[in-house]
Structure 1
């Protein structure tokens, strides 16, 4: 399994507010299925970051394209394969 850091820069603040509940439900489902390791918004309001686990860039992009924020045009996305290094006591 590979890790991918996905930046979700703000595209439309109104749509972002409108579709936030659906986006958060989507992320919870992906965390529950271990496809998302971590997620959170940037405190300056510019967007957020999601760490996905997927077999390939294409598999990750398919997940990202299913995010309601992306589907509804609230956020753009940038995907970076991430060579994660974890602390010994981290998962």
Structure 2
């Protein structure tokens, strides 16, 4: 499995009610062995997490299931990480 960096940047219409569902989403990924690391930025502009997936397409499918993306609260970008 490869590593993918997911950047979740808050949009002007960010909905704070999505923080709980987002954390539950991350907990589920962690239980599946797909999440290595996650955290928010100190300036509250968003956050990032590191996924384990077989390829970029699978990583995008996983990340685009994030409630922050599904509700339009944050812009989600996924990058293959060669760490």
Preserved CA contact (<8 Å) 1:12 1:73 = no
Aligned pair count?
A: 83
State which drifts further: 27-36 or 4-13. Answer: 4-13
CA distance in 1, matches of 2:24, 2:79: 23
CA pair 82-7 structure 1, distance change in 2 beyond 3 A: same
- Paired residue secondary structure (1:34): coil
Preserved CA contact (<8 Å) 2:69 2:75 = yes
| Structure 2, unpaired ranges of 5+ | none
* 1:8 aligned partner: 8
- Paired residue secondary structure (2:75): coil
Preserved CA contact (<8 Å) 1:9 1:75 = yes
CA RMSD in angstroms comes to: 1.0
Q: CA deviation at 1:12?
A: 3.6
Normalising by structure 2, we get a TM-score of 0.94
Normalising by structure 1, we get a TM-score of 0.86
| Structure 1, unpaired ranges of 5+ | 85-91
Is 1:72 the equivalent of 2:71? yes
CA distance in 2, matches of 1:29, 1:71: 16
Preserved CA contact (<8 Å) 2:22 2:67 = yes
CA pair 82-14 structure 1, distance change in 2 beyond 3 A: closer
Runs of 4+ in 1 over 2 A off after TM superposition: none
